[in-house]
Chain A
């Protein structure tokens, strides 16, 4: 019982970080109808940026979020402008998907060239510190990673609900055509949206580097988990992806504790297959929107 509750706590804390990554990915899908396969690579890229900032300049990993997030926001916008916007063809959706796949591999290639493929980890002085609450271990890094994710998600929520840009985004998600007719600049919304997606990946990446050992190939692992989360939550639904991330975080952590860590990977695949069989639009997905 104790182990189970411990696993659930761990799962919720980890799930929060996944929620952050997945919210960006589902946002990009909502706006552009593109499944961004490079989201995992963005996370790993941000983790390496944080690593460099920490090792070379001694910047605290949590503080470096303030650097990596705006930086990746700009990188995301640049990539959208350079690689996704010029696509004009019969099947933009398919091409965009493959472009993000290429992007993913390209990022992996650059990272393995610059940093080599050995596993690294960001180890600040407080890395192994943890509290004991009612007999359960809560690691400081995981706790603050969770808090950080909540803060960034709250900011994202406020941006989407309270700003003019946010209204344009929500309008585009609901009905791109009408949004454009009402004067929403689709190009700008797409660019900013892709930037926001990359930015969430960046803030998650900074803490990801402290929670896990990673190498340039880690993005495969990440993307398969993220895809499960966004499909489970319903593609395009940010709230859904947050719930799904917490569910999957707990599920995989419990399986990992009760069975074996190998099976925790399979939890994701099995859930994905079940969702697609039983409820292809996910928990909170709109019925006809998007690809399904």
Chain B
């Protein structure tokens, strides 16, 4: 049974990435398809990274956009004059990630001394600090004028492809790390942190270490995505690179798909980003999109607080139990499980 489930997982992943790899080859010249997909995959990668901290560890960081901006500015500053053949910005991405992860460590260490609400406060403050710095640290960031990346010397007909495939690779890395977390002790430790940190500490889980690992890895991934984004759009302005909406995007998509699941953030991104592009296309870029975004967010919080995937797997499990004629036991078990959110969130939903 377990082997079967694992095989289904592999097949799902192969089909998913296989289709995404083939799409640009098929659609070819139609620019908007790859363009929309690049942003969709970008948010899928961002949400998957956020999920490491916000989903598995249960620390709702609102400051991840600061690290997105950090990555974006790093690439923009290094490659302001020339991109040296076009592929070097992609090659230095791991260095950007390491740099961002190192910077995130002290921040995480301070922020993760606090829990839930106050953690959110601290991280949102980090976002504001980053924004203030980006606007005012003129000599480095160029202030409100922003920074530009030298244009990439790619062939016009396949200009989007390198960005597309690098984004896709980043998504694969983020999901791979996510999977690795689930399979190893780190994920288990994070689950205990999420459920009851004091008790976890009491039984000898190295809570600070695993929290910081998750935070640093997550921030490093986000910074890499930010770097590719900066190279792709070509201009880095403080209000777009360090944007609360990017944070909200990650949180929203993870919540919609299902926190603490492997595919949830990806599903969330593949629903919301195309929808968003569609709204922007029909309503134009008026301020109403902000309101629409907030409205979608509220609807998800109120009606699907646990996300699509956990809700579906819940329903499936109930149906299967009913088919086995043990409905009564199952509902007992379900209520017992919902009384213990940790077991529920970590064990069952794949």
Contact = CB atoms under 8 A, between A and B. Distances in A.
A224 interface: yes
Contacts of A266: 129, 132
Nearest to B131: A220
B248 interface: yes
Interface in A83-99: 83, 86-87, 89-91, 93-95, 97-99
Interface stretch (B13-21, B70-78, B90-98, B117-125): B117-125
Contacts of B115: 291-292
B255 interface: yes
Interface string B122-143: 1011001101100010000000
Contacts of B290: 105-106, 108-109, 112
Contact of B287 (A101, A113, A262, A291): A113
* Chain B, interface SS category: helix
B271 interface: no
**Residue from B121, B245, B302 whose CB has the most chain A CB atoms within 10 Å:** B121
Contacts of B114: 276, 280, 291-292
Contacts of B62: 101
B19 to A, nearest CB: 32
Interface string B311-350: 0000000000000000000000000001001001100000
Given A103-B294, A105-B290, A227 B124 contact: yes
Given A98-B297, A265-B132, A269-B125, A277 B116 contact: no
A245 to B, nearest CB: 16
A90 B305 CA distance: 9
A90 B338 contact: yes
Nearest to A227: B121
Interface string B269-307: 000000000000000001111111111011001100110
A99 B120 CA distance: 13
A265 B128 CA distance: 10
A105 to B, nearest CB: 4
**Residue from A97, A220, A223, A277 whose CB has the most chain B CB atoms within 10 Å:** A97
Chain A interface size range? 35 or more
A224 B287 contact: no
Contacts of B291: 105-106, 109-110, 113
A102 interface: yes
A207 interface: no
B187 interface: no
B301 A93 contact: no
B294 A102 contact: yes
A118 to B, nearest CB: 12
Contacts of A291: 114-118
A33 B128 contact: no
A276 B58 contact: no
A51 B120 CA distance: 32
Nearest to A225: B128
Given A87-B305, A109-B290, A113-B288, A35 B341 contact: no
B236 interface: no
A97 B116 contact: yes
Interface of A: 29, 33-35, 37, 83, 86-87, 89-91, 93-95, 97-99, 101-103, 105-106, 108-110, 112-113, 117, 216, 220, 223-224, 227-228, 231, 235, 262, 265-266, 269, 272-273, 276-277, 280, 290-292
Interface of B: 58, 60, 62, 110-111, 113-118, 120-122, 124-125, 128-129, 131-132, 136, 244-245, 248, 251, 255, 286-295, 297-298, 301-302, 305-306, 338, 341, 344-345
22 contacts: A35-B118, A90-B306, A99-B301, A101-B248, A102-B297, A103-B298, A105-B245, A105-B248, A105-B294, A106-B294, A117-B287, A223-B124, A224-B124, A228-B125, A266-B132, A269-B128, A269-B129, A273-B122, A276-B113, A276-B122, A280-B113, A292-B118
